[in-house]
């Protein structure tokens, strides 16, 4: 079968590898669509495991099912989660599924940027979700990123009527925008260094879209009734974005650090101000099976529209072009790879 083999961000090769053989309790899924995630182009994160087949926002069709693979049948349209929690460790039992050791060590074989994937037993047991008829394969590639966004906003305890400020207008930031509006935020403001992304933010319902500069806190107050935001979501790993968060959150507000920085990066905190103004700082990583189920329903019910976020589609043979667009973060929003 064909796959897009990742060596580095500028070296993704179309290669032939064997179709995986499945066990009696496993599934073989033919890929129909797989989104390129922003994390796929974090070279510092990916390069240490190269060469490998990336891709974890995958939808497809079951073409082979082991006799002990449960309720799934050949022909089922599915979304498959790559990371799966054990549901029994001390972290899972406390609701912290995304820090479970099992979740951090599970995956499907070889990756979503291949014509077929083998779904291991644990993934087949609790990480395969039937794709409703109302969701296309392309729309299904948003299930995983939306689940991550949903978990983040749950952790941040978003409430109807709050004002939300999103730093970073990439795909994650704009999904945060759409979800915050769906959950009842009174207004959502987005900032980014890219003017094209600000156009998307306004199209998707932002009250205002602010070009990032030294006066962002003042611009935010000007469009937010003279106040900072109740909830600030940092959807970019840029250090400047984190520093901006302290200046744009209101007293009693919350900062959600959603996007990672590189390891070893330290940021100075205005600890007195955080204490004095009652600021909550929290983080979020990945999504749980429950978040995935809820994300599917949000897309199925059209509470969150995602099809208008797709800007580019490439076949496996042109995956390198897709990676280049995502890495440059200039002219694309959501890039999808198809067979």
Q: In what order do the strands lie in the sheet with 208-211?
A: 208-211, 187-192, 163-167, 229-234, 249-257, 280-283
Q: Would you say residue 33 lies in a domain?
A: yes
Q: Would you say residue 120 lies in a domain?
A: yes
CA–centroid distance for 265 within its chain: 22
Q: Given 283, 302, 321, which residue is the final one in a domain?
A: 283
Is residue 326 predicted with pLDDT exceeding 90?
yes
130 plus 40 within the same structural domain? yes
- DSSP conformational letter for 105: G
Q: Given 242, 268, 283, which residue is the final one in a domain?
A: 283
Q: For the chain, what is the domain count?
A: 2
Mean pLDDT of 247-257: 98
- What gap in Å lies between CA 90 and CA 284, rounded to an integer? 18
Residue 323: φ, ψ to 5°: -60, -40
Helix (H, G, I), strand (E, B), or coil: what is residue 211? strand
Do residues 237 and 258 touch, judged by C-beta distance below 8 A? no
Mean pLDDT of 126-146: 98
Q: Would you say residue 39 lies in a domain?
A: yes
Q: Would you say residue 231 lies in a domain?
A: yes
Q: Would you say residue 164 lies in a domain?
A: yes
pLDDT in tens, 194-251: 999 999 999 999 999 999 987 999 999 999 999 999 999 999 999 999 999 999 999 9
For residue 101, what pLDDT is reported?
Answer: 97
Is residue 160 predicted with pLDDT exceeding 80?
yes
204 plus 164 within the same structural domain? yes
For residue 45, what pLDDT is reported?
Answer: 86
167 plus 230 within the same structural domain? yes
Mean pLDDT of 135-164: 98
Is residue 70 predicted with pLDDT exceeding 90?
no
- C-alpha distances in Å from residue 107, one per residue of 56, 87, 100, 112, 248: 9, 16, 14, 10, 38
304 plus 202 within the same structural domain? no
Q: Would you say residue 150 lies in a domain?
A: no
Q: Where are the alpha helices (DSSP H) in 74-142?
A: 90-93, 121-126, 137-140
193 plus 270 within the same structural domain? yes
Q: Would you say residue 152 lies in a domain?
A: no
259 plus 293 within the same structural domain? no
260 plus 315 within the same structural domain? no
Output the domain CATH number for residue 310. 3.90.180.10
pLDDT in tens, 20-55: 999 999 999 999 999 999 999 989 889 999 999 999
Question: Domain limits at 229?
Answer: 157-283
Output the domain CATH number for residue 194. 3.40.50.720
295 plus 274 within the same structural domain? no
CA–centroid distance for 274 within its chain: 28
pTM exceeding the 0.85 threshold for the entire prediction: yes
279 plus 292 within the same structural domain? no
Q: Given 265, 283, 301, which residue is the final one in a domain?
A: 283
Angle at CA of residue 284, ends 229 and 49, nearest 5°? 135
* CB within 8 Å of 283: residues ≥ 6 apart: 155, 256, 257, 258
Q: How many residues does the chain have?
A: 339
Mean pLDDT of 171-189: 98
pLDDT band of 77, cuts 50, 70, 90: very high
To which residue do tokens 């689940």 refer? 147
- What gap in Å lies between CA 15 and CA 5, rounded to an integer? 6
Is residue 155 predicted with pLDDT exceeding 80?
yes
54 plus 135 within the same structural domain? yes
- What gap in Å lies between CA 80 and CA 148, rounded to an integer? 15
């Amino acid at each position: 079968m064909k796959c897009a083999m990742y060596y580095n961000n500028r070296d993704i090769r179309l290669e032939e590898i064997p179709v995986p053989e499945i066990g009696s309790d496993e599934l073989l899924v033919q890929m129909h669509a797989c989104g390129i995630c922003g994390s796929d182009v974090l070279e510092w994160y990916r390069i240490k495991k190269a060469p490998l087949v990336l891709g974890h926002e995958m939808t497809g069709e079951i073409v082979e099912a082991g006799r002990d693979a449960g309720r799934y049948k050949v022909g089922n349209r599915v979304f498959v989660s790559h990371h799966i929690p054990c549901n029994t460790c001390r972290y899972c039992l406390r609701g912290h599924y995304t820090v479970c050791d099992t979740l951090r060590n599970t995956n499907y074989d070889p990756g979503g940027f291949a014509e077929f994937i083998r779904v291991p037993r644990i993934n087949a047991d609790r990480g395969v979700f039937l794709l409703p008829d109302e969701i296309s394969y392309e729309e299904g590639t948003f299930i995983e990123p939306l689940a991550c966004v949903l978990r983040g906003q749950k952790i941040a305890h978003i409430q109807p009527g709050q004002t939300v400020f999103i730093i970073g207008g990439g795909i994650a930031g704009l999904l945060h925008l759409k979800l915050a509006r769906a959950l009842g935020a009174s207004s959502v403001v987005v900032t980014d260094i890219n003017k094209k992304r600000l156009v998307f933010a306004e199209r998707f319902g932002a009250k205002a879209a602010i070009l990032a500069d030294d006066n962002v806190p003042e611009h935010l107050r000007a469009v937010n009734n003279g106040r900072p935001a109740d909830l600030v979501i940092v959807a970019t790993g840029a250090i400047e974005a984190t520093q901006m968060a302290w200046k744009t959150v209101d007293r009693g507000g919350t900062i959600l650090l959603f996007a990672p920085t590189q390891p070893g990066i330290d940021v100075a905190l205005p600890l007195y101000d955080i204490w004095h103004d009652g600021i909550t700082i929290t983080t979020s990583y990945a999504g749980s099976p429950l978040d995935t189920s809820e994300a599917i329903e949000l897309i199925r019910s059209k509470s969150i529209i995602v099809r208008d976020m797709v800007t580019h589609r490439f076949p496996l043979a042109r995956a390198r072009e897709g990676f280049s667009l995502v890495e440059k973060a200039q002219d694309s929003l959501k890039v999808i790879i198809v067979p």
